[in-house]
Amino acid sequence: MLAITSVVLALILALLAIGRIDVTHVQSRDALRLSSASRALTIDPRQFPPSGWNTLRGDLLSAEETRVDQEELEAAQHLVRVGVYATTTSELDLSVPSYSSSGYVWLNWKEPLQRYLEANEATIEERFTLLNTLITDAPPELEPVSQAPELLDDGSYYQLFTYRGRYYLDQASFRHYPFMNVSLPLVIEADDVDGSLGYNNLRLEPDIRNSGMGLFARIIGWLNQGWSIAEYRHHYATNFGLGGAESDYSLVLFEISFGTSSWSAFWRLLLPLSVLMAMVLLVFKVRSDEQDARASIPVTVLLTLVFLQQAYREDLPQLPFLTYLDQVYVVAYVVTLLAFVLVIWIGRRYADMEAMEDGPAKETIQARLEHLDNSWPLMVVMFGGTAIAVAWMLIPPGT
């Protein structure tokens, strides 16, 4: 009892100390708001996970905000139609997280924007950027297919570009790992050099009809859930030194969504853990006089748990929270520790019984120990099942 009390006290003190030195996360003032422009979402609503996770960023506009945004859209000086067609996606790396992709981007704009470009001796690709390109991928980000834009019959200008690179991935349901969803985004925004291409002057309109994904836009081992494209209002918490209010810009976000197979995740990650817990479950079915064999099982299981957890954590970034699988492993550690403590305690009781004379006292202790041996599997199943179910239910919705 003294040893158990000491351990509990040490644990409480450790938790208090960690709470004192823990770092509080500060949210960025940059924000995305979904605009009132048309958007495409080809994902079947039935494929959205029950957790509520989806690819939408920020908050939806209220009815009044939608009306105001539509008025701003109609009054915008420049309107650029943006289309994206992803031909390949590959090399999904959750530890960064990032992915590789290639495909086509096309821009369609009117005469006023063309006059602005000519006055500034700039090309259209010099005024647009792929916002989530990793730093290691140097520009040019958009490579023109033709030497110059094409003048269409309706008087607008059109130019096709290719893109190829590695892009940052900002949307994934890591809290539900290994049952997770990811979104592979491609973010296109104006590269404003003089403050004249803000949200009120330049709006990007998604080309919903022609955007999409090609035959090789898939990730082996992941299940494709579809694609979406939408315009967002990107609020920067700065005016970039140009004076006036903080800057807002229109951006188009194209993304392809993938999810893991629940059955694959179970067989690959949870089945080995279940086998280990079955060994702990049956530890007291080993003959009571084989104390060494009993004590070796929790120790072996503990070392295997550490190895298995380190193996899957290598695929994930350094997260400031526990994933669902992390929480399952915490339950497994607690059960394994309890099994080891009970093995030691029961061994001591059997050693005390050897020094006792036969009689009612010895028979009472023997009966209690046998009852503990028989009830241990049920206690483990009830405690473990309840704990991992509660851990799943307590995951914040939509994350």
Q: Which of 199, 228, 260 is the last residue of a domain?
A: 260
Structure tokens at 301: 């299981």
Q: Is residue 25 part of a domain?
A: no
Q: Is the peptide bond before 50 cis (omega within 30 degrees of 0)?
A: no
Q: Are residues 95 and 240 in the same domain?
A: yes
Q: Which of 210, 239, 260 is the last residue of a domain?
A: 260
Q: Which of 260, 294, 310 is the last residue of a domain?
A: 260
Q: Is residue 342 part of a domain?
A: yes
Judge contact between 103 and 162, C-beta under 8 A: yes
The pLDDT score that the predictor gives to residue 83 is 95
Q: Are residues 252 and 270 in the same domain?
A: no
The pLDDT score that the predictor gives to residue 47 is 57
Q: Are residues 316 and 330 in the same domain?
A: yes
The pLDDT score that the predictor gives to residue 138 is 55
Which residues does 128 contact at the CB level (< 8 Å), separation at least 6?
Answer: 107, 142, 188, 189, 190, 191
Q: Are residues 156 and 223 in the same domain?
A: yes
Among 179, 163, 187, 207, which Cα is nearest to 255's? 187
Helix (H, G, I), strand (E, B) or coil at 64: helix
Q: Is residue 360 part of a domain?
A: yes
Q: Are residues 235 and 253 in the same domain?
A: yes
CA 212, 217, 219, 223 torsion: positive or negative? positive
The residues with which 133 forms a beta bridge, in sequence order, are 167
* Backbone angle region of 136, left / alpha / beta, with phi > 0 → left and psi within -120 to 50 → alpha: alpha
Judge contact between 183 and 55, C-beta under 8 A: yes
Q: Are residues 271 and 239 in the same domain?
A: no
Low-confidence ranges of the chain (pLDDT < 70): 1, 3-4, 38-53, 136-140, 288-289, 351-352, 354-355, 398
What Å distances lie between residue 179 and 51, 74, 144, 147, 174, CA to CA?
10, 43, 40, 46, 9
Task: Determine the Cα–Cα distance for residues 74 and 60; give it in Å rounded to an integer.
Answer: 20
Q: Are residues 163 and 42 in the same domain?
A: yes
CATH assignment at residue 310: 1.20.58.390
Among 132, 114, 144, 136, which Cα is nearest to 170's? 132
Q: Is residue 398 part of a domain?
A: no
Among 154, 155, 185, 160, which Cα is nearest to 170's? 185
Helix (H, G, I), strand (E, B) or coil at 36: coil
Among 104, 102, 147, which Cα is nearest to 123's? 147
Task: Determine the Cα–Cα distance for residues 151 and 158; give it in Å rounded to an integer.
Answer: 6
Q: Are residues 349 and 379 in the same domain?
A: yes
- 66 is in which domain, residue-wise? 31-260
DSSP 261-299: -HHHHIIIIIHHHHHHHHHHHTGGGS-TT-HHHHHHHHH
Which residues does 397 contact at the CB level (< 8 Å), separation at least 6?
Answer: 51, 52
Q: Are residues 232 and 309 in the same domain?
A: no
CA 287, 291, 295, 296 torsion: positive or negative? negative
Q: Is residue 10 part of a domain?
A: no
Q: Are residues 268 and 252 in the same domain?
A: no
Among 145, 103, 138, which Cα is nearest to 124's? 145
Q: Is residue 5 part of a domain?
A: no
Counted domains in the chain = 2
Q: Is residue 138 part of a domain?
A: yes
The pLDDT score that the predictor gives to residue 135 is 75
Q: Which helix (H) or strand (E) holds 118?
A: helix 111-119
Q: Is residue 2 part of a domain?
A: no
Q: Are residues 236 and 275 in the same domain?
A: no
Task: Determine the Cα–Cα distance for residues 128 and 159; give it in Å rounded to an integer.
Answer: 13
Q: What is the pTM of this model?
A: 0.84
Task: Determine the Cα–Cα distance for residues 179 and 72; give it in Å rounded to an integer.
Answer: 41
Q: How many CA atoms lie within 13 A of 83 on its CB side?
A: 17
* Backbone angle region of 82, left / alpha / beta, with phi > 0 → left and psi within -120 to 50 → alpha: beta
CATH assignment at residue 125: 2.70.170.10
Judge contact between 270 and 278, C-beta under 8 A: no
Q: Are residues 245 and 278 in the same domain?
A: no
